[in-house]
Chains A and B, each alone.
Chain A
Amino acid sequence: QVQLQESGPGLVKPSETLSLTCNVSGGSINTHFWNWIRQPPGKGLEWIGYVHYSGSTNYSPSLKSRVIISVDTSENHFSLTLTSVTAADTAMYFCARQRGFSSPFDIWGQGALVTVSS
């Protein structure tokens, strides 16, 4: 069965770049849509964007200027890059699978907490 696992630094300095990777195991990344979602401590869920296995992307307008999501089919993982971070970017970051364009997020990673602090 497909499992997702986020990895990356847990602490990032203000103005620097946040980078996370979501490793897909138990199945191929060569299908479906692959999403990033974040959740500030004690708050709700915010969709960041997705990458399709073909490489096409779609980002939240509120983060579009600072986000890149990419896929590496040879490594079976996809990645999130968020530039110029501030304390407001402190959150649990989740990756999730979406089978089709309007499908739900049926498989989620356990999440990676990223704190932005000097």
Chain B
Amino acid sequence: DVQMTQSPSSLAASVGDRVTVTCRAGQSVAFNLNWYQQKPGQAPKLLVFATSSLQSGVPLRFSGDGSGTSFTLTISSLQPEDFGTYFCQQTYMTPWTFGQGTTVEVK
């Protein structure tokens, strides 16, 4: 299985801050890396797919970058509604695997 490791596990930032979450894969997953946002009591929501493609309807303040084994999700200007847990996922090889999640708190 491809192990996915996210850092940090949690963070707190102020509105307007630039926030970056990192995801590292145990082996190369090429560009097959996706990011999801999950709010309490809800299903995950797709934000970014194939490393850097923004899902339709997702605000432009979200962006993704990386390749191979190292990836980032950046929120350029944190908004109050951006609280939640962010998960990375590789869809390079089965079993599809997820990172353990990064919880973002808006101060």
Contacts and interface: CB of A to CB of B under 8 A. Distances in A.
Interface in B20-53: 32, 34, 36, 42-46, 49-50
B96 A47 contact: yes
Interface stretch (A11-19, A23-31, A80-88, A103-111): A103-111
B92 interface: yes
Contacts of B98: 44-47
A60 interface: yes
Contacts of B76: none
A39 to B, nearest CB: 9
Given A45-B87, A94-B43, A110-B43, A60 B92 contact: no
Contacts of B50: 104
Interface in A82-116: 94, 96, 98, 101-106, 108-111
A94 B50 CA distance: 22
Interface residues of A, number: 23
A6 B89 CA distance: 22
B1 A102 contact: no
A104 B101 contact: no
B97 A102 contact: no
Nearest to B98: A45
Interface of B: 1, 32, 34, 36, 42-46, 49-50, 55, 87, 89, 91-92, 94-101
